Amino acid sequence: MTPLHTTQFRDIVTAAEAIGSGLGLTETIALYTGWIAAQAPGSPGMHAAWFNLATEYGQAEDPQAAMLAYRTALAIHPGFAPAAINLGLLLERQGQPEAALQVWGNALQPDDSRIALLNQQARLLEQTGELAQAAELLRISLLTRHDQPDAVQHWLHLRQKMCQWPILSESIPGLSHHDLLGQSGPLAALALTDDVPTQRAVAAGFIARKTQPKSALAHPGGYRHDRIRVGYLSSDFCSHAMSYLIAELFERHDRDQFEIHGYCASPDDGSPIRARVIAAFDHFTSVRTLSDEAAAHRIRNDEIDILIDLNGLTSGGRLQILRFKPAPIQATYLGFIGPVPLPELDYMLCDDFVVPPEFAAAYHPTPLPIQGLYQANDSKRAIGPPMSRAAAGLPEDRFVFCCFSNHYKITDTLFAGWMDILHGAPNSVLWLVDDNIWSRQNLRLRALAAGIDPARLLFAGRTDPASYMARLALADLFLDTFPYNAGTIASDAIRMGLPLLTLAGRSFASRMAARMLHAIGAEHGVTASLQDYVSTAVALATNPVQYAAYRTRFTGTAWKESLGDIAGFTRHFEAALLRMAGVRSTEIV
């Protein structure tokens, strides 16, 4: 926050600004300190002077002095919310989240300031996993003032994570069902609707709030290199689902045609997959600590021909870098499975099943189909040793339905369908990931209300990637989510020979699993309505002959010849890159 200007000490602020711009922080701090020492107790402007002194200490990277000055400002004026907000942010950065929450919670403030403090508390509580408290504070904030799209977005997504249905509850005066959906946020919208124009409108609103247009940096005529320079930008070059999918594509790129650059905004988690991804790039640059503008200039200076953003509208994405247009051709791929209506993006890499031609016009940027399957996969994925059902806490004599997708993808309508499946297949259980304590409790209560013994819902704790893969093989049928299908997890299940059942809709996100099932010749698992989804699941669970016939589609050979054919995928992907660059492809089909 910039130094506060007040009429009581305008002259000292003016002098401090002049000194700061000419000589630096030391003299500015000395000026404020001297002015404060010369004032009588209770002098007007003292709290503001201490606040300004605190901001200068912060600029001088002296957090202890800054925190003391903010506390002094609050002692003089307990209702001075800017000091409480800044003090809390400093405490958070110093690794003291509980102290930050206490400062924000104890601060006295009028409505506008209280809203800011509530939102800061909610943000930090969400980050630390206290979902229910975060949601309640956002609800209180919205009851004070409902016109806060960012607060609405986080409140709704917290409700999704906790399975607090109905998600679009009209419990905030001034926020209709339409308003809530429109402000739900891009990721949340994928799990709320399969209507592509609605998803696009939500994404456009988010982009308008979070980014600003900039002048293009890229050379308007492009560049002339011996090899096409392809840059990949991501905050997920770490132990993340995206890296587990795409690592081998980086390794297999044809270096006679392409020079591969990696621009990394992710923390170094020390994982083997991160080391592997970094080693796969010809050139690797960390942009984590760079400003968006500085990162964009770095990409421009590297004369990247095609920049591929692997985040889209997901957490950690650096959309503002793309707004500087640092490369003449920019595309989005894999990270966000929906419209990304950023004017500076040229293409969205997909395939012609997940985005059929009749739906293509609803998307932005322009869909560019990869021949065959849209999803990269890694043939070198580590898989743990086989385990028993007993070791995983599963019954040996029950049909095990499973879904390991995050709980925000589960809707009340879908869960009601799952309960119908359990009614129709009484000798079955439903195995879910143990996402959080609130969703676990809410799902059990919903099961009880549907007449299902909550003990038939089993929850698997988080585990390492290799053990997770091995554990998938223990289930009998993966029940996919809708309208936001499983992506990485669906391909993981198929790789492990676990049959999958999906419901296909209109959007990219609702057609991912169906694309994979078509690829291995398992069309029987693709349904077009919830009724068909339920009846197919019940039939597979209660008819051993039908189940056995379906399971024969899920073989290692079927995987290797379709989803696991990374050599073929790389050729198709590179052909798409050449089409972007306007180069005639010599792809071998």
Query: Are 144 and 115 contacting, i.e. CB atoms less than 8 angstroms apart?
Result: yes
Q: What is the DSSP string of 99-166?
A: HHHHHHHH----HHHHHHHHHHHHHHHHHTT-HHHHHHHHHHHHHH----HHHHHHHHHHHHHHT-SS
User: Which of 71 and 380 is assigned the larger pLDDT?
Assistant: 380
Token pair of 562, please? Answer: 């379709």
Instruction: Report how far residue 319's alpha carbon sits from residue 323's, in angstroms, rounded to the nearest whole number.
Output: 7
Instruction: Report how far residue 567's alpha carbon sits from residue 497's, in angstroms, rounded to the nearest whole number.
Output: 21
pLDDT tens column, 60-93: 888 888 888 888 788 778 778 788 888 888 888 8
Residues 26 and 124 in one domain: yes
- In this structure, is residue 390 part of a structural domain? no
Give the pLDDT band of residue 221 (cuts 50, 70, 90).
confident
Give the pLDDT band of residue 17 (cuts 50, 70, 90).
low
Residues 248 and 308 in one domain: yes
Residue with tokens 């509580």: 125
- In this structure, is residue 386 part of a structural domain? no
Predicted pLDDT of residue 78 = 78
Predicted pLDDT of residue 400 = 98
Task: Report the pLDDT averaged over residues 505-514.
Answer: 98
| Helix or strand run (H / E) with residue 264 | strand 258-264
CATH number for 151: 1.25.40.10
Residue 204 pLDDT > 50: yes
Of 157, 191, 225, which marks where a domain is finished? 191
Residues 344 and 251 in one domain: yes
Residue 170 pLDDT > 60: yes
Calculate what percentage of the chain has a pLDDT beyond 70: 93
CATH number for 437: 3.40.50.2000
Residues 187 and 199 in one domain: no
User: Which of 327 and 43 is assigned the larger pLDDT?
Assistant: 327
Q: Please state the pTM of the whole predicted model.
A: 0.82
- In this structure, is residue 37 part of a structural domain? yes
Find residue 286's DSSP bridge partners: 264
Lowest-pLDDT range of 12-21, 64-73, 142-151, 162-171: 12-21
Residues 67 and 78 in one domain: yes
Task: Report the pLDDT averaged over residues 479-506.
Answer: 97
Range of the domain at 408: 399-560
- In this structure, is residue 251 part of a structural domain? yes
Residues 182 and 297 in one domain: no
Residues 351 and 482 in one domain: no
Query: Are 540 and 351 contacting, i.e. CB atoms less than 8 angstroms apart?
Result: no
Residues 114 and 228 in one domain: no
pLDDT tens column, 41-65: 667 778 888 888 888 888 888 888 8
Predicted pLDDT of residue 501 = 98
How many domains is the chain partitioned into structurally?
3
Instruction: Report how far residue 362's alpha carbon sits from residue 196's, in angstroms, rounded to the nearest whole number.
Output: 6
Predicted pLDDT of residue 42 = 67
pLDDT tens column, 96-107: 888 888 887 777
DSSP E strand stretches across 293-427: 306-309, 329-332, 347-350, 366-369, 399-403
- In this structure, is residue 2 part of a structural domain? no
Residue 356 pLDDT > 70: yes
Residue 313 pLDDT > 70: yes
Token pair of 333, please? Answer: 């791929």
Lowest-pLDDT range of 3-17, 394-408, 571-585: 3-17
- In this structure, is residue 394 part of a structural domain? no
- In this structure, is residue 385 part of a structural domain? no
Task: Report the pLDDT averaged over residues 194-223.
Answer: 95
Residues 209 and 174 in one domain: no
**Any alpha helices (H) in 39-110, and if so which ranges?**
46-59, 63-76, 81-93, 97-106
Of 172, 191, 210, which marks where a domain is finished? 191
Give the pLDDT band of residue 109 (cuts 50, 70, 90).
low
Give exposure, 99-138, as e/b (b: 16+ Cβ within 10 Å): bbbebbeebebeeebbbbbbbbbbbbbbeeebbebbbbbb
Secondary structure class of 299 (helix, strand, coil): helix
Predicted pLDDT of residue 6 = 42
CATH number for 221: 3.40.50.11380
Of 140, 167, 191, which marks where a domain is finished? 191
Residues 13 and 92 in one domain: yes
Task: Report the pLDDT averaged over residues 418-443.
Answer: 97
- In this structure, is residue 175 part of a structural domain? yes
Predicted pLDDT of residue 584 = 47
pLDDT tens column, 247-300: 999 999 999 999 999 999 999 999 999 999 999 999 999 999 999 999 999 999
Task: Report the pLDDT averaged over residues 236-250.
Answer: 95
Q: Chain-wide mean pLDDT for the chain?
A: 91
Q: Max alpha carbon distance in the chain (Å)? A: 91
Of 298, 299, 319, which Cα lies nearest the Cα of 309?
Answer: 319
Calculate what percentage of the chain has a pLDDT beyond 90: 76
Residues 95 and 226 in one domain: no
Task: Report the pLDDT averaged over residues 232-258.
Answer: 96
Residue 20 pLDDT > 70: no
Q: ω before 483 within 30° of 0 (cis)?
A: yes
Residues 187 and 207 in one domain: no
